Amino acid sequence: MKALLQRVSRAKVSVEGKVVGEIEAGLLVFLGVDKADTPLIAEKLLQKVLSYRIFADDMGKMNLGLKETQASLLIISQFTLSAETNKGLRPGFSLAAEPVKGELLYNHFLNYANHNHPKVAAGQFGANMQVELINDGPVTFLLESK
């Protein structure tokens, strides 16, 4: 499982012109699910996302996690994060979870987030989504469950 984190001033995701998820300052997470992923892997990755210290403390250093700041969290499924890109000029998706498993684990991650953080918004699994964001920093990190 992969989580691409972007610290944002604001972000929103739309499907067919309708906003389905929106946050102010916080963390935008693009989530990729691999074939080998499990609910336990999803839970461990979410705990890391919530605790990852990428928000500034009083001294201006990246020393606070999402839990401490109580900032918002926007979670969007993105199967392309599971792409194999090390050979050729076209991505391969043999490591990505099948859609049914991907949706189950995405929903598990999202439900676990809702039980562990007060401000959670989400995209729509499998939809063609348009994402707008203001990256704060810019600050972007890739977390992998391996």
Contact criterion met (CB below 8 Å) for 62 and 56: yes
Going by pLDDT thresholds of 50, 70 and 90, the confidence category of residue 110 is very high
CATH, residue 6: 3.50.80.10
| pTM strictly above 0.85 | yes
Average pLDDT for 28-48: 97
Count structural domains, the chain. 1
User: Would residue 38 show up in a list of annotated catalytic residues for this protein?
Assistant: no
What is the model's pLDDT at position 133?
A: 98
Exposure letters 134-145 (e unless 16+ CB within 10 A, then b)? eebeeeeeeeeb
Long-range contacts of 107-112 (CB under 8 A, 24+ apart): 108/39, 108/42, 108/43, 109/1, 109/31, 109/42, 109/43, 109/45, 109/46, 109/75, 110/75, 112/42, 112/43, 112/46
Domain range for 114 = 2-144
Examine the pLDDT at 146 and tell me if it is beyond 90: no
- Quick: pLDDT tens for 66-93: 999 999 999 999 999 999 999 999 999 9
Catalytic member of 38, 69, 80, 140:
80
